[in-house]
Amino acid sequence: MKTKTIQGSQTVAKKKSLPAALWALTISAFAIGTTEFVIVGLLSTVASDLGTSLTSAGLLVSLYAIGVAIGAPILTALTGKIPRKQLLMGIMLLFIIGNGLAAISPSFELLLLSRVVTGFAHGVFFSIGSTIAASLVPKDKRATAISIMFAGLTVAIVTGVPLGTYIGQNFGWRATFIGVALLGLVGAIASLTLVPKNIKQSAPLRLIDQLKVIKNPSILLVLAITAFGYGGTFVTFTYLTPLLEEVTGFSSNMTSVFLLIYGIAIAIGNIIGGKVSNNKPGKALLVMFALQAIVLFVLYFTASSQSFAIVTLFFMGILAFSNVPALQLYVVKMAEKHLPGTEDVASALNIAAFNVGIAIGAYVGGMVVESSLGIEATPWVGGILVIVGFLLTLVLFKKEKI
């Protein structure tokens, strides 16, 4: 009886423990998340050093996102036959090369190219990473598993982005990219050590098969929801550092500290988003988008007050990434329901949609900054895009009840 009890306890413990491969994905996501978002804190520094405008520097955000948007669906399909672990190692090698190239870039044009290359690695990683994470746990824990992997992104914003911004402002932005390349090396070692060889993967699909996924109205609607609902925040987030310095009146050192606080809020929101999205991701998205739109509109009025701006931006941070697990689970559920076997492609397309949203948000933000509206108008413009995401979610939720 004691033996059976011990074995039973071990079985329960195994069920409760998270697979090591999930943590490898999280570590790699941390490295990739750092390079994606650290540029937000360095736009002014890079623009000044390479002799370009702040709006042009914003292309380092939008073109990276376009690299992800292209890399996620196309490269994921082209690499469908490659074993998942082998592909992860290749992705991290490309990531290291891209950031190394950024560190030695003598011109703004070459820096842009390096960002696109790194974006390719990002796109493939998160498209296959989401489905790998979901396959490692029971069905009712898939959103939680995805949120844990994406926690690497949020931890990057909590620690990597403020630290990278501090390094860039004090030792030069090139030093930041060198540090990020080293983070990529850590991620590669983690994948080599922790990720198993026998990872389940869907049958390879041709590029033409992606058209079948895109043609499905429900999946296409999720992609639009992702682009607008998630991307709307980036109208403000892309230019958050100059907003805090020029409108709110924070010094550059205080801005670095605030980016840390903002990152903590994002981490909290990501965890909450994963927990509330396991069963009805559509319903959860309706609530999260509504709250995010409200917060962005409020920020327009509070940005000029340091105390009120801090509170508002903290809530903006909580909501900024809370929708990510729900959006990824939503597209996977739609693929399972309408086109079984296309989950990898649907996930890849949604990663592309995330970054189309970032590119749209960054581009619209740049237009707002250059217009007569000014940088202080970016919150309410972003809020309008989030409302579009809310309305599209409402349409799909009424149709699918998921």
Q: Is 90 exceeded by the pLDDT of residue 257? A: no
Would 19-204 and 205-401 be classified into the same CATH topology?
Answer: yes
DSSP 345: H
**pLDDT, tens digit (0-9, with 9 covering 90-100), for 357-377:** 998 999 999 999 989 899 999
Of 345, 356, 336, the closest CA to residue 77 belongs to 345
CATH class of 19-204: mainly alpha
**What local confidence, expressed as pLDDT, does residue 5 receive?**
45
pLDDT interval class at 132 (50, 70, 90)? confident
Token pair 């809530």: residue? 315
User: What is the residue extent of each domain of the chain?
Assistant: 19-204, 205-401
pLDDT confidence tier of residue 8, bands split at 50, 70 and 90: very low
pLDDT at residue 206, rounded to an integer: 66
pLDDT at 398 over 80: yes
Is 3.40.50.970 the CATH number for 205-401?
Answer: no
Q: What is the pLDDT of residue 27?
A: 83
Give the count of alpha carbons within 13 A of 353, CB side only.
25
State mean pLDDT over 182-187.
88
Q: Is 210 left (phi over 0), alpha (psi -120 to 50) or beta?
A: alpha
